[in-house]
Chain A
Amino acid sequence: MVLGMASKPAPRPLQEPAFLVLSALAQGPAHGYGISKDVEESSGGRVTLRAGTLYGAIDRLVAAGLVEVDHEEVVDSRLRRYYRLTAEGGTRLDVEARRVEAQARQALERLAARASRPGRVSGGLSEVPA
């Protein structure tokens, strides 16, 4: 897989909204409002994707072939268009999640090593500037 990807252009790291939208769709097809609710919950309320921003992000993900329309339904006279991850979107989310995970793990390992270094009065996260 790594060798196969080496011949392709390196994918640009996903922006956080796009990552969170893909992550929301990893659970299954969802409509715009469902995605925005999931993004808000999974980010602990830190990221709120309002309608104008959300549909721009979805549009770009659809154009990039990472997301596609699953089906549409009308509930209470309101159109709900459901989106789902494509196979490429799943792969991209997987690659991105592993990249973020590896970076986070490395940062934590370095912090742990820093904290256990001899001669330090205190260590750990309290020394990390905000």
Chain B
Amino acid sequence: MSTDRPAEAAAVVPALARDYQRLLRLFPFAYRRAHGAEMLGHLLDATAPGQSRPERRDVVDLLRAAAREWALAPLGPTASERRAATSVLSVVLPALLAIPATRTIGFGVSLVLRDDAPPLLPTAPMVVPWVIWALALLALLAGAGRTGRALAAAAAAAATVTVVALVATGEVHAAYLETGWAVGIAAHAVVVAEHERTTAAGGWQRRATTAAAVTVAVGAYLVATVADTTRLGAPWWASVGSTTWSTQAVVVVLAVIGTAGILVARTRQAVPILAGVIAAVVLGRSQFFWSGSLDPSTVDLGNVLGLLAFSCGAACAGRWVVNRIDELVEVRARLRHDVEQAVGSGTGVV
């Protein structure tokens, strides 16, 4: 098997090699660095004598693979990094998202139970995506991976539709506030899809960990806000958790936590996605991107798109940093291995 290769490589038309190189340039840089050279060798080995252009099926296959790699790039350049990222994110993201889900669903239920309640959807527009997301989480915790994956994707679609509908109906300020959570729901759908596809079924330990994390997060939220809600006589789901911290202080704390997450090898791969989600959520609740102080009517579509761009930028920047750190770790490990080999073989190192 190891000799199963062309005895000698056929001469390749230069234009063909150039076309393949162009196609491979469509892949993310980190993936190209990992597989670009061997993929080019493979493609050239597979060429028929006299072939001067890439086969259409090869082009379609490469375009599809490049699109897939770009879609998954925030999770990591190769499957190993993605596996590490989804292992952490499949626990952390549900814990993060469970808080707004609990609040919104609680608000929705309180509306439904009131006699003089205003219409549910205009008042709590994100209630449908959050209900679908909660069902997805329950399915995942129950071990129904395929159902959970489908529901998570449906929740992401519903959140996107809700945000678009809010913008279309002129409720841009509401859209601006909810876009961060819509980004979180979409990120969770991608994480679930990748995690369920690549990880062994069962995994009750991970499900138990996720359930515990969700319980702790919701419990911590309730404990943190119970004093305010009691004092103000507000319901538990109301947003009364006012903080005296400025946006800058919150950003500094998050940056410190993010840096710590990057330095720990086990959590490093999850940081870029978390950075993107948290950037969108924090920005949606700060005055930084508003066109004018606290007037909701001044928020426009540009703010929503800017928030999305900022979120993507934070995820990309996080991924860039993590990839560079991975490279350094890899070089260091290789160097250490070479030194150990040199010492072991007695050649010595000066």
Contacts and interface: CB of A to CB of B under 8 A. Distances in A.
A37 B200 contact: no
Contacts of B46: 33, 36, 51
Contact of A75 (B4, B9, B82): B9
Contacts of B316: none
Interface of B is mostly: helix
A63 B82 contact: yes
B65 A63 contact: no
Interface in A49-106: 50-56, 59-60, 62-64, 75-76, 78-82
Given A63-B79, A63-B80, A81 B38 contact: yes
B79 A59 contact: yes
Given A38-B1, A75-B9, A50 B61 contact: yes
B5 interface: yes
A126 interface: no
Contacts of B66: 52
B68 A56 contact: yes
Contacts, number: 118
A67 B272 CA distance: 27
Contacts of B199: 12
Nearest to B6: A33
B40 interface: yes
Given A75-B5, A80-B5, A82-B2, A12 B41 contact: no
Given A50-B61, A51-B61, A9 B200 contact: yes
Nearest to B72: A56
Contacts of A30: 1-2, 4
A59 B34 CA distance: 10
Given A78-B41, A79-B41, A33 B200 contact: no
Contacts of A50: 57-58, 61-62
A30 B1 CA distance: 6
B285 interface: no
B41 A80 contact: yes
Interface string B160-199: 0000000000000000000000000000000000000011
Contacts of B82: 63
A31 interface: yes
A7 B62 CA distance: 40
Given A38-B4, A50-B61, A11 B200 contact: yes
A7 to B, nearest CB: 10
A27 interface: yes
B200 to A, nearest CB: 4
A52 B65 contact: yes
A17 B175 CA distance: 43
A10 interface: yes
B45 interface: yes
B1 A27 contact: yes
Among A10, A28, A30, A59, which residue has the most Cβ atoms of chain B within 10 A? A59
Interface string B91-106: 0000000000000000
B135 interface: no
B239 interface: no
9 closest A-B pairs by beta carbon, nearest first, are A52-B65, A9-B202, A78-B41, A63-B79, A27-B1, A50-B61, A34-B4, A59-B79, A76-B9
Interface of B: 1-2, 4-5, 8-9, 35, 37-46, 57-58, 61-66, 68-69, 78-80, 82-83, 198-204
Interface of A: 8-12, 24-25, 27-34, 36-38, 50-56, 59-60, 62-64, 75-76, 78-82
Given A34-B2, A62-B78, 10 more contacts: A12-B199, A29-B1, A34-B4, A51-B43, A51-B65, A52-B66, A55-B42, A59-B79, A63-B80, A82-B2
